[in-house]
Structures are given as structure tokens and as C-alpha cells.
Amino acid sequence: MEEARGSQALVYDRLAAILGKQAAHDLLWLLKQYHKSPQYRELALSTRKSYEGYQRTICNFPVSNGRLLGEFPLDKLNSRHMRGYLDTYPSKVAANRHIQYLCAAFNWGRQRLSPVKFNPCEGVTRNKETSRDRYIEDWEYALVYQVAASMRTPIFAPAMELAYLCRARRGEVFAFTELDIQRQGLYLRRGKGSKNEITAMSDRLQAAIANCRQIYPKAPDRGFLLHRKDGTAYTKNALDSAWQRLVKKALDSPWSLPLNLANEAREDGAAEVDGKFYLTETFTFHDIKAKGITDHKNNEGGHRSKKMEAVYNRKARVIPATR
């Protein structure tokens, strides 16, 4: 089977010769072959979804003379085109992700498809990225949690708690199932090469799980802790939109805070009206994981490297003065 797939370029060339046409071995052709491959299908669903979006964006990117990047012949692409893409694409970080995807596709094709002679992404320096250092203060977390609990469908209230307590990404939080609730605690299958782990059960974690079950208690049992009314999983777009609405509400309307957190908010210069506070700086759902790691007594986050541990530990250490 693998040999048959590996010879698909040869078959394509022969068919083109029979038809008297030149095979259109352009970038779009390569990416389509990559997306059909067994290696691509082995990728995580979230990764494949991202790559589908990358393919559309890259192939529709204008290069010169009205030509789109997807129409560019493979034998004409070189590292300067990749450098130009990195320099001109509006989002420097997104451009890095796109080149990373192209690099994987070219590496795959170079080993299997005769028209792919080299990888134009190799040796191209990626755009500089600055790690996020946003730390969510306790009062900010409490305020946004209130907003989340007030929404018509309050999925993000327990989701925030699961992300914080388990130091988990959003995708991992919404992938939790009833089977992950074990005797020792809540089992987390981490992505991105991080280590799986069990978060020991606590009163707060039990409350978060109970709140998940209360949102749609009559939904068909599909296994997910957090799910839509029909029991199925939420889509990325739906979660993105819901989170944006939630943050906007926190920015646009004031919320009460317990006295100790209200004092913290005042010290941080939060906007206040009649004893209620506004969120003054946005944060991402992913920042909640970083807060969970930073606040954890051992800064545990499932990371395999000290470098990644440092990225997610976002609170400056308090060091005594020299004298």
C-alpha cells in the first residue's frame, strides 16, 4: 500500500504524458497529496484542522504578476520565496506556523514524490517570537469567572476551573470525558508532547466536574464532560466566539468582587464604578493554564523541558536584597 502511494507521482506523470499535457506540479498539488497521506491522517484532529486553514491561506497568498503562491511550480520555489512570505505576511507568528507546516509537507514529499527535489523552507530563519508573560491576577480571574457563570450557556465557568486546576489547554479541557474521572483523580491526556498526568481530586475539582454536568443534564450521553445540547463536542470556532463575547462583557460591564480581591484590583489600578470593577486588560484562555502552573506549588505543567517550564511560569520571583 505504501509503495503504491509512494509511486503516485510517477502515475500522475504517465497520465499527463498520455494526455499530452504537462503535469501541474505546483505547491497546491503537493499540499493536496500531503493531506491525502496516511502520515497526515495520523495527526491530531486539531492539527489537521489548523493545517487545512493554513493550506487555504498560503495557496491564496499573492506573490507576483497576479500569481498565487499555490500556483507556483515546485521547481521554481526557493528559500527567498519563503523568506518573502515570512517578511510580508501580516502576522509574524502565524507566518512562522505556516512555514512550519510547509516544511513538514516538503519533507514528506521529498521522501515520496519524484517532483519534490528539495525543501525550500530549510535554512530559512523564522520570525522572532516573544513568549507571552501575561499573568492573570486573582481578582481578574474571579471577575471573568463571574462573567462566565452569568452567560446563557455557562460552559466557560467550569472550563476555566478545569484549565486552572489541571494546568490544561483549552483543547484538553474540552476533550475530558466521564471515563477520565478515576479513583485517584482526573486523568489528563496532554498534547504537544507533554506528559499525561492525573490531577488528584479536591473539593474545588469535584465542584467543577459537577458544574460541567449541570449545564445540559438531559443531553445524550456521548461521554464529554463539556458538550453541546446534543452531547457532541464544541467546535473551535464556537469556542472562539463564545470566549470573545465573554471577555467583551468583562471589559464593558462592572462586576462585584470580595473585599480582599477588590483591594487587589484597586492596587492594580482597575477601573471602578460604585464599588464594581471592569476587566482592564484582556487575557486568553491559554493564559489560564499559565496561571495554574505559576500558582502551583511545584509549577507542574507536564512539560518535558526546563525551557517550556520557564515559559509558563509567569510570576517574577521575590528575591531578598543583598543586605
* 133-182 residue pLDDT tens: 889 999 999 999 999 999 999 999 999 999 999 999 999 999 999 999 99
Residue 249 pLDDT greater than 80, yes or no:
yes
pLDDT at 322: 42
pLDDT at 318: 46
d(CA 54, CA 97): 8
**pTM for the model:** 0.63
Contacts of 53 (CB under 8 A, 6+ apart): none
- From first CA to last CA, the distance across the chain in angstroms is 72
* 307-319 residue pLDDT tens: 445 545 545 454 4
Compute the half-sphere exposure of residue 2: CA atoms within 13 Å on the CB side of its CA: 5
